[in-house]
Amino acid sequence: MEEVNADDTSVNLYLEFMQKAIIMRTLNGIFNPVEYICQGSLFRRYDYNDNVIPNQDKFVGVRFKMPPAVDLTMQVDSIDLYFDKTGVFNLLIYRDNFKAPLAILNVFPEAYTQTRVYLTDVLLSHLGPDYGGSTLYVGYYQSELEAQGMHALDETDAVFARGFPFGYEYFSAAKIPSPINFERREISSTNLTYGMNMNTSVFRDHTHQIMAKPALFDNVIGLQMAAQIVEASLYNTRSNSTERQLKDQSTQIMAQLDLNGVAAISESPQTVGLKKQIDQELARLKKSFFPDPKARSYSLC
């Protein structure tokens, strides 16, 4: 820290900033395999063959379901809307174990024109930071369309995508009038697309593991903090009484020894320095979260 007149508050802010940077460096050193898995739309439009879907006063849309994996997250990036009339209605997002909608979005589709709506923070995983459950519902109430004389267009020749690491299905469910909701115990699966195509992406997400085991990172964060302080002391450009004391050769040798495990002179003793300890701790943590696959034996008979 180069500020000459720094008070306690400034020093604490500096140390807090340094600690946050070290935490990010630690996490990046452990969770660094390939994060991106796949991306794609739920179906591909094959040809122009669009049929009007009659409104039946139901809640309709797409139900997503995630597998029981703690490090997998699906995100709905955007929705392509396709309707027979220009208008406005509410798009609602529900999660199992939550009766009220997580989000209500006003959307404005144009008649017979694909309208893309971009979403933010629409995520689904088996274990989230503040919820349990792995089902997400995205849809709308047909009564809103009926009031405007609007209908969804069903793309009957759509080719539905397969091979995603999550399940999905288009569905319809009876509407509960007051307060407005839908009957989740009686959901009907259907091949109708209800004027919506979801664009999704899937990636590795270690948030739950990190938040569930914070104590595992204490040692490596402390080691990295110590190494950072030693480096800052060795390469500080300020000149004052403390800095001049540090220039004493014996003090510098001890600092180099703490940091690297060996000093800058050949006759110095060798110990396990901070950098080596950090590497060992990162390797241990990485193996804890990503253990080597166990050997298996197979019988050929």
DSSP assignment of 226-291: HHHHHHHHHT----SHHHHHHTSHHHHHHHHHHHHSS-SSTTS-----HHHHHHHHHHHHHHHHSP
- 36-205: in CATH 3.40.50: no
209 C-beta neighbours (distance < 10 Å), count: 16
> Quick check: 171 pLDDT over 60?
yes
Delimit the domains of the chain by residue range.
Answer: 8-31+213-289, 36-205
Would you call 170 helix, strand, or coil by DSSP? strand
Is the pTM higher than 0.75? The answer reads: no
Average pLDDT, the chain: 81
Would you call 211 helix, strand, or coil by DSSP? helix
d(CA 3, CA 96): 52
> Quick check: 103 pLDDT over 80?
yes
The pLDDT score that the predictor gives to residue 149 is 95
Most confident of 88-97, 141-150, 173-182: 141-150
> Quick check: 291 pLDDT over 70?
yes
Q: How far is CA 105 from the centre of its chain?
A: 21
The pLDDT score that the predictor gives to residue 195 is 94
The pLDDT score that the predictor gives to residue 17 is 85
The pLDDT score that the predictor gives to residue 131 is 55
80-97 confidence digits (pLDDT tens): 999 999 999 999 999 888
DSSP assignment of 93-161: EEETT-SS-SEEEEE-PBBTB-EEEE-SS-EEESB-SS-B--EEEEEEEHHHHHTTT--EEEETT-EE-
Q: How confident is the model at residue 250 (pLDDT cuts 50, 70, 90)?
A: very low
DSSP assignment of 84-99: SS---EEEEEEETT-S
At position 264, the amino acid (one-letter code) is A
- Tell me the two tokens of residue 247: 């220039």
d(CA 55, CA 145): 7
